[in-house]
Chains A and B, each alone.
Chain A
Amino acid sequence: MNLQPDEERFILILQEKKKIIYKICNSYCRSVEDRKDLAQEIIIQLWKSLHKYNEQYQLSTWVYAIALNVAMAFHRSKKRKREVFAGLEIVVAIMDDTTEEREQEENLQLLYKFINELEELNKALMILYLDNNSYKEISLVLGITETNVATKINRIKQKLKQQFNNALKS
């Protein structure tokens, strides 16, 4: 099948940035079904926004902004029914962890749990921070000042560290 240049470019973007989508879906949704639905919604919105992509921004900044905005809208929407995605039913597959993987990645699951418990905007802030984005990039994606980003990150990371240490002790 011959693909249009835009479609080829889109698939390349998805291949390159799918880890961002995966991490955001895991942080905002608990059930595998919800994660699949959210991933599909993010893919739809990425495609619909592709023609508006401003080259002066980094590709990952653009993906983060769209994926996080969609995740929050999805989280707050009462209408997150699967039929909405009828045509995209098999585009995304997120496998549930096997028991063995779960044991190996206990800490990661714990981190996801703590991130999941944060307020929605703080959650976005922490995902961006843990993914090594600069304060400037974070402020660009969120739309707040760099000083505000720094203050908030400092407070949340202390809280996360504390929660983690408590969990490890117990």
Chain B
Amino acid sequence: MELQELKDIWNQSDQQAERQFRINFDSLKKISIEKAKSILWPLQFNAIVETLVNALFLPPVLRFLVGYSSQPKFLIPALLLALMLLFTIAWNIYSIVLLATIDYQSPIVQTQKKLSNFNYRNSFRQQRLLYILYPVAQSCFLIMFCKAVPGIDLYDHPQFLVLQFVIGFVLVPVMIWIIKLSPDKTIAGALSFLNDIKRFEKED
């Protein structure tokens, strides 16, 4: 089999396309293709919802932070929670902008690297970072919520607080163990594809 023969075989696709591939131009004219959503839309939608939810929580947390700025025992949990919320909002805004500006006409290596880096970081944040930070966020939230709503100072109930922290920190290795038990395929896939791209770019 010579190379030209391979090309000839490949060129049979053109006749096959004529027979088998029909684009319904009538329906294309009738429907509004502008409204069609891309495969990346679910990711964008999630990022928009997450931004809105976090933005809702941010003002009361900031108000609490300012109100108790002279009391470190309340200031520190409020500060931690505010930072987590701000990080999530910032990440999601970055995701929305990045996904909206993906330029498919750019060179393939460049576009795929951008997409894979995003997939890797997004999955890492969702599948690892948030699980690990969850116990800390939960304790901070309880301290703030109990003080702000029913007016209870959880530091006056050290047993509950210690229990809360212990449960929280016991959960961290449990979360890590669960993550290791079911490794996220998106993270592994994105990393392996990034390595493929690196190899592909390298001149042999």
Contact = CB atoms under 8 A, between A and B. Distances in A.
A87 B13 contact: no
Interface stretch (B75-83, B124-132, B143-151, B194-202): B194-202
B104 A76 contact: no
Contacts of B163: none
B13 A65 contact: no
Interface string B14-30: 10111111111101111
Contacts of A52: 103, 105
A134 interface: no
B17 A23 contact: yes
B36 interface: yes
A79 B112 CA distance: 17
Interface string B163-204: 000000000000000000000001001100100110011111
Interface in B103-159: 103-112, 115-116, 119
Contacts of A161: 1-3, 6
Interface in A139-170: 140-145, 147-148, 151-152, 155, 157, 160-161, 164-165, 168
Contacts of A45: 38, 104
Q: In which size bucket is the chain A interface?
A: 35 or more
A85 B36 CA distance: 6
A134 to B, nearest CB: 14
Contacts of B16: 22, 101, 105, 108
Interface in A54-74: 54, 62, 65-66, 68-70, 72-74
A65 to B, nearest CB: 5
Contacts of B110: 143
A54 B105 CA distance: 9
Given A120-B196, A121-B109, A130-B10, A90 B24 contact: yes
A95 B17 CA distance: 10
Pick the most buried of B13, B110, B189: most chain A CB atoms within 10 A of its CB: B13
Contacts of A142: 107-109
Interface residues of B, number: 61
A19 B14 contact: yes
A141 B109 CA distance: 9
Contact of A43 (B20, B23, B35, B42): B23
A118 B40 CA distance: 25
Contacts of B40: 73, 77
Contact of B31 (A65, A77, A87): A87
Contacts of B32: 87
Interface of A: 1, 3, 7, 11, 14-15, 18-19, 21-23, 26, 39-41, 43-45, 47-49, 52-54, 62, 65-66, 68-70, 72-74, 76-80, 84-85, 87-88, 90-95, 97, 101, 105, 107-108, 111, 119-122, 124, 130-132, 140-145, 147-148, 151-152, 155, 157, 160-161, 164-165, 168
Interface of B: 1-3, 6-7, 9-10, 12-14, 16-25, 27-43, 103-112, 115-116, 119, 186, 189-190, 193, 196-197, 200-204
16 contacts: A1-B29, A3-B29, A14-B28, A43-B33, A44-B36, A45-B38, A53-B105, A73-B112, A77-B39, A87-B35, A90-B27, A101-B19, A105-B16, A108-B16, A152-B200, A161-B3
Given A21-B21, A93-B24, 17 more contacts: A14-B25, A19-B14, A22-B21, A44-B36, A52-B103, A69-B106, A70-B104, A76-B190, A84-B41, A87-B33, A91-B24, A105-B16, A107-B9, A108-B10, A108-B16, A143-B110, A148-B202
